[in-house]
């Protein structure tokens, strides 16, 4: 059964992408990456995971929020009330707000094309999935040009 996700088409340049309005509103306040020590919005602080996320997002008009990260450090301006816990053998930091909506609101997890490890997997979701597995991250995709709702 398909989940109810509030999305709209948004135009960027000469193409359109689907944007989840519910999670997009929470992204700036609860995204671990945007609220990490040393991060200046839109600039890298040297974190290899952040660099890869920024590259994938910039190349493909994706927008994501990081809900779990093993190397997160609260910045002085951080609004995230992150909790530390153990997940897949790693000590990670988690954003409770994003974790609560990730399964039901992440565009990748609710896309017809999402099939990790399968030959017909969406190339964008595959890139993000590999990055998450390699880096111990969890992401919430809030904008994607390739999204198709699950049937």
List pLDDT tens digits, range 60-84. 889 999 999 998 988 777 878 899 9
At 80 the three-state DSSP class reads: coil
Q: Which residues of 81-97 are buried (b: 16+ CB within 10 A; e: fewer)?
A: ebeeeeeeeeebbbbeb
Q: Which two tokens stand for residue 52?
A: 């890869």
Is 80 exceeded by the pLDDT of residue 46? no
| Whole-number pLDDT of residue 3 | 60
Q: Which residue has the higher pLDDT, 99 or 43?
A: 99
Domain extent, residue 62, equals: 8-144
pLDDT at 1 over 50: no
Number of domains making up the chain: 1
Mean pLDDT of 73-99: 88
CA 97 and chain centroid, separation: 13
- CB atoms under 10 Å from CB of 102, counted, come to 21
- Token digits for 43? 């600039």
Neighbour order of strands in the sheet with 15-20: 7-12, 15-20, 138-144, 63-69, 90-94, 83-87
In a domain, 62, yes or no: yes
Is residue 97 included in any domain, yes or no? Answer: yes
For residue 122, is pLDDT > 80? yes
């Amino acid at each position: 059964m398909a989940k109810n996700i509030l999305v709209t088409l948004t135009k960027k340049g000469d193409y359109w992408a689907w944007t989840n309005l519910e999670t997009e509103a929470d992204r700036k306040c609860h995204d671990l990456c945007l609220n990490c020590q040393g991060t200046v919005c839109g600039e890298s602080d040297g974190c290899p995971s952040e660099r890869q996320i920024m590259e994938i997002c910039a190349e493909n008009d994706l927008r994501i929020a990081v809900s779990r990260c093993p190397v997160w450090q609260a910045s002085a301006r951080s609004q995230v009330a992150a909790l530390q816990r153990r997940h897949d053998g790693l000590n990670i930091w988690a954003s409770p707000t994003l974790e609560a909506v990730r399964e039901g609101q992440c565009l990748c997890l609710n896309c017809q094309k999402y099939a990790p490890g399968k030959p017909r997997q969406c190339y964008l979701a595959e890139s993000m999935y590999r990055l998450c597995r390699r880096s111990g991250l969890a992401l919430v995709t809030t904008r994607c040009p390739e999204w198709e709702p699950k049937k």
